[in-house]
Amino acid sequence: MGRDIQSKFIAIKMKRVVVFRVDASRDIGLGHLMRCLVFAEALYDLNFEVHFIMKGSEMFNVPNDYTLHLIDSFSVESQIDTTIYTINKIGTVPELLVVDSYELDSSYHAEVRPYVKRVLVIDDMANRKYECDFILDPTPRNGIDLYSKLAPNAIKLLGPEFVLLRKEFRQLRERYHLELMKNNGLNRIFVSFGATDTLGLSIKTLEAIAAAKLTVKTDVMISSHSLIFEELLEYAKENQGINLLVDIKEPASWLARADLAIGAAGSTSWERCCLGVPSIVLSIAKNQDEIALGLERYGAAKVLEYNSEIYIEELTDNILELSSNNAMINTMSEASYAVCDGEGVSRLVSSLGISEEVGCGVQY
Taking the CA atoms of residue 21, residue 124, residue 132 and residue 26 in that order, the dihedral angle to the nearest 10 degrees is: -20
Separation CA 297–CA 295 (nearest Å): 5
Query: Quick one: pLDDT at residue 136?
Result: 98
Q: Give the pTM.
A: 0.89
User: Which pLDDT band, with edges at 50, 70 and 90, does 137 fall under?
Assistant: very high
The reported pLDDT for the residue numbered 313 is: 97
Q: Which domains does the chain have, with CATH numbers?
A: 9-164+343-363 (3.40.50.11190), 167-339 (3.40.50.2000)
Tell me what pLDDT residue 5 has: 40
Q: Residue 86: pLDDT above 90?
A: yes
How far, in Å, are 69, 99, 161 from residue 146 at the CA level? Answer: 33, 18, 17
Q: How many CB atoms neighbour CB 236 within 10 A?
A: 19
Closest alpha carbon to 68 in 324, 128, 330, 59 = 59
- The dihedral through the CA atoms of 351, 356, 360, 361 has a sign that is negative
**pLDDT beyond 70 at 358:** no
87-111 average pLDDT score: 97
- Under the banding of pLDDT at 50, 70 and 90, the label for residue 182 is low
Which CB contacts under 8 angstroms, 24+ apart, belong to 47-50?
Answer: 47/13, 47/16, 47/356, 47/357, 48/16, 48/17, 48/18, 48/95, 49/15, 49/16, 49/17, 49/18, 49/90, 49/92, 50/17, 50/18, 50/20
